[in-house]
Structure 1
Amino acid sequence: MVAQLELFQRPPARDSRDIAREKAFSIEVEQEILTVFSSRAEEWLSYSDFRELIDKHKIHSWLGHVLHRIAREGKLETSRLYYGAEWPGDPDYRGFDDRYKWPEGNTK
């Protein structure tokens, strides 16, 4: 005979990472991100330009994933800025920064 507890187990509790991911990929956050880009249409923006939004929604590093997805969907242009050299094996390599921009003619 199976105990009732085994039949009706509760689903595991969502932790803060699950909650942050869901919030980051929400339509609300995407709209806020796109509003920032449309208001600064001529500028290349990076992760650090969204500190206020990150803190407001507590989405932490998920913002980078969201920016990448939005760019992959064609809603943003993307560019990679290398510091020092472009190759991690090069002694002058100091990292990189992905930058994003509102595409010219974008009306979304």
Structure 2
Amino acid sequence: MRHNRIRNIFCMSIILGATAVSVAPALAESTYDGLWNVTIVTKTGSCEPTARYPLTVSDGKVTAPGADVSGKVGREGAVRVSIGAAYANGQLSGNSGSGKWSGASGGVPCSGRWEASRQ
């Protein structure tokens, strides 16, 4: 189930990206550091309809164990994340955030929304 793996990795990247802050000094805690729960909802395409993932942000960097994830959250909370051919963007504010994502499952485009909340 390649599309499920892509979806899972993408979801983790969104959560991580949703909580990372760009240009954070080394060893300095960022505004969005911590554990975040992200819910992904597919609006178009054949990807899973809904998925939930916990992600951690540390020093404003977006990472996911075992996943090729890159992304960040700007000082004002703007989220930009990529994983493989999937991309997400959105906005964090305080302990929550939301945005849009797009990718593909089996070559068929998928897209939708994501929501994040800090634990």
More strand as a share of residues: 2
Higher gyration radius (CA): 1
Whether TM-score is above 0.5 comes out as no
More helix as a share of residues: 1
What is the TM-score of this pair, normalised by structure 1?
0.26
